[in-house]
């Protein structure tokens, strides 16, 4: 499905990557229930069109589908050009798409490593750069980047994933400060392990994470959405346990933090 004819009076528009399942899907519900038009981006055309139909039936909004694999070099520019061709002004950018790899670094598939770095790090940077310029010109906008509590730890057997999420966290906090004077809000969502399909692949199914007390994607999305609208920079869903895990790396030496993370992620 492509965009339907847009009226002269536009709703605000949110572009959400990884919109087909999990946290991304829950965020689409929140934005549309609040009157936003949405641009939904993921690899599955059929799944996105199904979501699009549901959203347009439930709300008086326009949902645009762009099926794209964002782990491919050049995908960010292609997405930006596709949105520009539809004459869509993106008011809120949500960089949610991502995946993880868990296992010994020396045994990881190099092509999958490239895809992870491209999606979790390069695409996030490129999409932010492309969409933030028009926001600066308009003097308003929002960016919600999805990191993880994993981004606060060096994690053995998840070294690449944790490092990319650490980049997203640092990148977002820096931009929040830099772009505030341009009228742009930047928030970074840092959930702990959440009950999504990410935990079922990339080797994570063999870690201890699926056996943990998992967060609900709906709750995570709602916390992230509210944090963005309230202008919070770092948003950590959950309770005391998640807040403690957020602050622990500030107290312990890095080597101890890595050992603690290893014990937490590995099965006994």
Q: What are the domain boundaries of the chain?
A: 13-265
Q: Residue 145: is its pLDDT beyond 80?
A: yes
* Sheet bearing 92-95, strands edge to edge: 63-67, 37-42, 13-17, 92-95, 141-146, 184-189, 234-235
Q: Is 167 one of the catalytic residues?
A: no
Q: What are phi and psi of 184, to 5 degrees?
A: -110, 130
Task: Say yes or no to pLDDT of 253 above 90.
Answer: no
The residue among 208 and 143 whose pLDDT is bigger is 143
pLDDT in tens, 13-68: 999 999 999 999 999 999 999 999 999 999 989 999 999 899 988 888 999 999 99
217-229 and 22-33 helices, crossing angle to 10°: 50
Give the pTM: 0.92
CATH class belonging to 13-265: alpha beta
Q: Which one of the listed residues 80, 153, 161, 225 is annotated catalytic?
A: 161
Q: How far apart are CA 53 and CA 66, in angstroms?
A: 14
* pLDDT of res. 261: 87
Burial per residue of 22-44, b for 16 or more beta-carbon CB atoms within 10 angstroms, e otherwise = bbbbbbbbbbbeeebbbbbbbee
The candidate with the shortest Cα–Cα distance to 207, out of 268, 255, 117, is: 268
DSSP one-letter code for 87:
T
pLDDT tier at 8 (50, 70, 90 boundaries)? very low
């Amino acid at each position: 499905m492509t965009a339907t004819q847009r009226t002269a009076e536009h709703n605000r528009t949110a572009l959400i990557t990884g919109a087909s399942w999990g946290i991304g899907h829950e965020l689409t519900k929140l934005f549309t229930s609040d009157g936003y038009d949405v641009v939904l981006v993921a690899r599955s055309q059929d799944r996105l069109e199904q979501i699009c139909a549901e959203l347009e039936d439930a709300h008086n909004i326009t949902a645009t589908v762009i099926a794209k694999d964002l782990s491919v070099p050049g995908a960010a520019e292609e997405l930006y050009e596709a949105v520009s061709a539809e004459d869509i002004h993106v008011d809120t950018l949500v960089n949610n798409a991502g995946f993880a790899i868990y296992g010994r670094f020396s045994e990881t598939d190099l092509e999958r490593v490239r895809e992870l770095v491209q999606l979790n790090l390069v695409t996030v940077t490129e999409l932010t750069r492309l969409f933030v310029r028009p926001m600066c010109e308009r003097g308003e906008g929002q960016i919600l980047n999805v990191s993880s509590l994993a981004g606060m730890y060096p994690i053995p057997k998840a070294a690449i994933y944790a490092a990319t999420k650490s980049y997203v966290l640092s990148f977002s906090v820096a931009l929040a400060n830099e772009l505030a004077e341009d009228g742009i809000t930047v928030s970074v969502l840092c959930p702990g392990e959440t009950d999504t399909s990410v935990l079922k692949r990339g080797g994570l199914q063999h870690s201890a994470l699926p056996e943990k007390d998992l967060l609900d994607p709906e709750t995570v999305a709602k916390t992230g959405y509210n944090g963005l609208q309230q202008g919070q920079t770092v948003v950590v869903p959950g309770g005391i346990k998640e807040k403690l895990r957020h602050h622990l790396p500030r107290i312990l030496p890095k080597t101890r933090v890595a050992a603690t993370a290893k014990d937490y992620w590995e099965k006994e």
